[in-house]
Structure 1
Amino acid sequence: MVYVETVEPGHFTLADLETLPDDGNRYEVVDGMLLVTPAPLPIHQTAVLELAVALRERCPEDLKVFVAPVDFRPTPTRSVQPDVLVCHRRHVGERTIEKPLVLAVEVLSQSTSLADRVLKRRLYEQAGVASYWIFDPAKEELTVLELDGDTYVERAVVIGKDSFEAELPFPVRIIPGDLVV
């Protein structure tokens, strides 16, 4: 196996992802930049699992719920792995998903907060992801963004035991405080 130490920063390709070690880190490529995220903490994984289960229970048959690591490759120079995603079943490829997602969810952690709030928001917006949820487990806060044209609009910020009645990607009730128990 060839490791990518020879690749200059800013010149990573999707093909380079195949040469990276299976070491518990999450590797993503955005326009030549390699993003490395360490293994998540238990509170993060608890929120990911609870969100995925809540979505899976209400998911219509034409859609599919995944948890990371699943590659979403909206362009030939971008590969990102939302913590939870929902897409059309017909868009699931053998190794990746390339068509716009119906929902991308990022669960914040200390090491990913800035990238999730700024970089990934922009990437998902540019990729035409219909809805983007950002969940902060420390605050038990869910921020819901939905595309309005080609720009995200904040639809809701829900905290603690308040409930969010989603319409996108499909009707589902989410209570942020229940995601971290």
Structure 2
Amino acid sequence: MTTTDVRLWTVDEYHRMLETEILTTDDQVELIAGQIIQMSPQLPPHAATTQCASDYLRELIPGQAIIRVQLPITLRPNSEPEPDIAVVRINFRRYQDNHPTSDDIFLLIEVASTTLNSDRNLKSRIYAQANIPDYWVLDVNNRQIYVFRQPQDASYQQEIVLKENDTISLLAFPEITVPVAQLFP
């Protein structure tokens, strides 16, 4: 049996592909663990939940963080995902010169209607490796949140599931309580 090595890409190589238009915005891809992955199209429940959750978080923490929606973050050396929502440090240039890195990130949220397995496994490994302290997956179909905390190596030491009638606080803003139901339309 013949084996084939997979060529993994770095963030810098990925950027060069974008700059030289080998890849374009029409490609709808993201760099995940060195692989260029096609992003899933958004169905209406996914889009509505992303909008609802991002709007609610903007209301809760005005002036304390920037809420980025479906924009890249850079996790060197080889990932540049586009999480559905990223709660990041305020940057007065609004990240004009670079995307937020793990040091800038308070919370990442993925919204899952068809990608629950990937978001809970692949993305959680990448985010844990990058030492993202707080990662949530909004499960659109069951209206619940998977909360990942305490990153260590390539996994989170804590994973809890919260139902629609539960509440949660962001690790970065523990004084702010978020009713889970408010994150869903």
Identity of aligned residues (%): 24
The offset of 1:11, in angstroms, is: 4.1
1:10 aligns with one of 4, 7, 11? 7
Question: How far apart, CA to CA, are the structure 1 residues paired with 2:38 and 2:121?
Answer: 16
Is the CA contact (8 Å cut-off) linking 1:83 and 1:107 kept in structure 2?
Answer: yes
Q: Counterpart of 1:56? A: 58
Show structure 1 runs of 5+ residues with no match. 1-7
Amino acid at match of 1:141: Q
Q: Do residues 140 (structure 1) and 121 (structure 2) align?
A: no
1:93-112 equivalent positions in 2, closer than 5 A: 93-94=95-96, 95-100=98-103, 101-110=105-114, 112=115
Q: Do residues 22 (structure 1) and 29 (structure 2) align?
A: no
The offset of 1:146, in angstroms, is: 1.5
Aligned to 2:91, the other structure's residue is in SS state: helix
Question: How far apart, CA to CA, are the structure 2 residues paired with 1:74 and 1:99?
Answer: 6
Is the CA contact (8 Å cut-off) linking 1:131 and 1:145 kept in structure 2?
Answer: yes
The offset of 1:149, in angstroms, is: 5.7
1:131 aligns with one of 131, 134, 137? 134
C-alpha RMSD over aligned residues: 2.5
Aligned to 1:114, the other structure's residue is in SS state: helix
Is the CA contact (8 Å cut-off) linking 1:63 and 1:89 kept in structure 2?
Answer: yes
| Matched positions, count | 169
> Deviation string for 1:122-143 (max 9, x for gaps)?
1111111110001110011111
Is the CA contact (8 Å cut-off) linking 1:164 and 1:174 kept in structure 2?
Answer: yes
Show structure 2 runs of 5+ residues with no match. none
Is the CA contact (8 Å cut-off) linking 1:55 and 1:172 kept in structure 2?
Answer: no
Q: Do residues 153 (structure 1) and 154 (structure 2) align?
A: no
The offset of 1:74, in angstroms, is: 1.6
TM-score by length of 2: 0.79
Relative to total residues, which structure has the larger strand share, 1 or 2?
1
Q: Do residues 173 (structure 1) and 178 (structure 2) align?
A: yes
The offset of 1:163, in angstroms, is: 2.6
Question: How far apart, CA to CA, are the structure 2 residues paired with 1:125 and 1:96?
Answer: 18
2:167 aligns with one of 164, 168, 175? 164
The offset of 1:60, in angstroms, is: 5.0
